[in-house]
């Protein structure tokens, strides 16, 4: 994670921020690793640990620290599910928080109150 920094987020807790400008379609973060979990193992995780599980390609995946972006209804990156990397949806300026859309990475039925603050916020995920 050379080109990103972790700091306090206006959205939630800590966030991952761009340490340089990125161009649209550029890989921003490539996951170092990921771990597939069974539904039973996910059920045994604490609520805090479950926050780091995404439902990707029909599988439960434990997201590594560099992939733990905050949600935004107006996200600036998307997850390339085949290569486990975040790709810029648009040009991103240095200092912007990197955000993804949890609606595209969550298990069906996942719900949470959205606090992204974007103009097109859905309120709930």
Residue 19 sits in a domain whose CATH number is: 2.170.270.10
CB 98 within 8 A of CB 86: yes
Summarize pLDDT for 48-83 with one digit per residue, the tens.
888 888 888 888 988 888 888 998 999 999 999 899
Asked, for residue 47, whether it belongs to a domain, the answer is no
Nearest Cα to 3, choosing from 24, 23, 17?
17
Asked, for residue 99, whether it belongs to a domain, the answer is yes
Asked, for residue 10, whether it belongs to a domain, the answer is yes
Number of independent structural domains in the chain? 1
User: Between β-strands 77-80 and 85-88, what pairing exists: parallel, antiparallel or unpaired?
Assistant: antiparallel
Asked, for residue 110, whether it belongs to a domain, the answer is no
Asked, for residue 73, whether it belongs to a domain, the answer is yes
Summarize pLDDT for 10-32 with one digit per residue, the tens.
998 899 999 999 999 999 999 88
Asked, for residue 46, whether it belongs to a domain, the answer is no
Asked, for residue 23, whether it belongs to a domain, the answer is yes
Give the domain extent around 97.
Answer: 4-32+66-104
Summarize pLDDT for 82-113 with one digit per residue, the tens.
998 999 999 999 999 999 988 776 666 677 78
């Amino acid at each position: 994670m050379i080109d990103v920094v972790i700091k306090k987020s206006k959205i939630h807790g800590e966030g991952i921020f761009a340490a340089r400008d990125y161009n649209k379609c550029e890989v921003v973060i490539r996951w170092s690793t990921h771990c597939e979990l069974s539904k039973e193992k996910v059920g045994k995780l604490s609520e805090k640990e479950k926050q780091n599980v995404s439902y990707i390609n029909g599988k439960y995946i434990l997201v590594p620290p560099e992939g733990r972006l905050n949600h935004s209804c107006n996200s600036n990156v998307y997850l390339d599910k085949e290569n486990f990397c975040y790709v810029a949806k648009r040009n991103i300026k240095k200092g912007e928080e990197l955000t993804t859309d949890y609606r595209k990475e969550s298990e069906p039925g996942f719900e949470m109150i959205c606090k992204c603050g974007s103009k097109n916020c859905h309120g709930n995920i």
